[in-house]
Amino acid sequence: MLTGVRTCCATAIALALSGAACFAQAAPDKGIEGKDNGSSQNVEKAFPLDHFLGDFAARDLSNTLCTVCTKDDGGRISVSDYNIVSEKRLRGFMADRAVVEIHTSFTAKPGWTMHSDAGYQLPPASELPEIVWKTIVVEDAQKLYRELYSVQGGADYVQPLTWSAIYKFDGESVLATNDPMTGNGGYCSDGYWLLSPSGPQAIDFSQVDRAMAEATPKGSGLTQTRCWALHIGARTIASPAQKPNSCHACGYTARIIAHFHFQGHLAIPDQVQADPIDSE
């Protein structure tokens, strides 16, 4: 889940100058349970694991590789214009089915420059930022793999991208991943799932969110309930409440802290407190 904002491709500046399109990351098909806010969360189609270690042009839904763009020599940019390195890690098991995470980096090979229809001087390929993809896939009963989570980004994410973790709570396994974005907005792409024998289920935090909203002082709102505010290992969400239209560092009224437990894929609030903050 991309929390709070949609992302764009790593070559966004060059694309804007060249007049080419830059698309936000979107789910390729119907997502899993829960709301999809921008990152790819798709369990509809199954593929051999090698599909997620290749087929890059077909999988580049965000146009991060800019294969719709042309080079100064008139040729079309292609996957072959990048040095590609993939790392695959087994994160754990869901029943007897593997949960695998793959990180793939794309570094532009030297010797070409993106063409600008607007006549701008664009940087050579050697100065373009590294593009990194992250994909989490789960094995099904047919030994094929279904995509659970995917981020395609570069300079818009804090590098390196994180690796997911599986937490054990009262005999249940929860898969969690959180990729912070650059800037001071506190945004990220994240996802949390109960790994059950029947398949992954997105954790539903709606009851905790509602309890925190009810504890928030009147006339202010929570600034964040995921990303940096969610501490999954401690089963805690801690977020400041802020008055609307306040400056970035002012207008805070309280720190809202919620402790919760899991009941299946539901996060159930146990205790919510509001600690006052004196902020102008």
Q: Does one domain contain both 162 and 188?
A: yes
Number of domains in the chain: 2
| Domain match, 98 and 156 both | yes
Are both 126 and 178 inside the same structural domain?
A: yes
Give the span between the Cα atoms of 227 and 175, in whole angstroms: 15
Q: Which domain holds residue 243?
A: 206-276
Do 85 and 142 lie in a common domain? yes
The answer on 186 and 75 residing in a single domain is yes
> Per-residue pLDDT averaged across 158-162, rounded?
93
pLDDT of residue 95: 85
The per-residue DSSP string of 150-199 comes to EEEESTTB-SSPPPPEEEEETTEEEEEEEEEBSSSS--EEEEEEEEETTE
Which residue, of 184, 202, 220, is where some domain finishes?
202
* Secondary structure tally for the chain: helices H, strands E: 3, 15
Q: CA Rg, the chain, in Å? A: 21
Q: What is the pLDDT of residue 120?
A: 83
Residues 147, 224, single domain; the answer is no
In order, the DSSP letters of 236-266 are: EEEEEEE-TT--TT--EEEEEEEEEEEETTE
Considering only CA atoms, which of 223, 217, 211, 222 is closest in space to residue 266?
A: 211
177 and 77 in a single domain? The answer is: yes
Question: Which two tokens mark 142?
Answer: 């047919």
Same domain, 188 and 223: no
Could you tell me if 140 and 41 lie in one domain?
yes
Q: Examine the domain organization and report whether 114 and 127 are in the same domain.
A: yes
Tens-digit pLDDT profile for residues 170-219: 889 999 999 999 988 889 999 999 999 889 999 999 999 999 999 999 99
Q: Are residues 241 and 177 in the same domain?
A: no
State the average pLDDT for the chain: 85
Confidence of residue 17 (pLDDT cuts 50, 70, 90): very low
Single out the residue in 186, 202, 218 at which a domain terminates: 202
> Based on the number of CB atoms within 10 Å of its own CB, is 41 exposed (0-12), middle (13-18) or buried (19 or more)?
buried
Q: What is the pLDDT of residues 101-157, one digit of tens each?
A: 999 999 999 999 998 888 787 889 989 889 999 999 999 999 999 999 999 987 889
Give the confidence band of 220 by pLDDT, cuts at 50, 70, 90: very high
Report residue 43 CA to chain centroid gap.
16
Buried b (16+ CB within 10 A) or exposed e, 68-92: ebbbeeeeebeeebbebeeeeeebb
Name the nearest CA neighbour of 8 among 116, 154, 168, 219. 154
pLDDT digits (tens, 9 = 90+) for 19-69: 443 333 333 322 223 333 334 455 569 999 999 999 999 999 888 999 888
* Coil, helix or strand at residue 90: strand
| 242 has pLDDT over 90 | yes
Find the largest Cα–Cα distance for the chain.
63
pTM of the prediction?
0.84
Which element (helix H / strand E) includes 43? Answer: none
Nearest to 226 by CA among 273, 175, 189: 189
Same domain, 16 and 116: yes
Contacts of 209 (CB under 8 A, 6+ apart): 225
CB 274 within 8 A of CB 215: yes
Last residue of a domain, one of 202, 218, 244: 202
Give the H or E element holding residue 133. strand 131-139
Residues with Cβ within 8 Å of 136's Cβ and at least 6 positions away in sequence, in order, are: 91, 99, 100, 101, 102, 147, 148, 149, 150, 164, 175, 177, 191
Beta-bridge partners for 157: 181
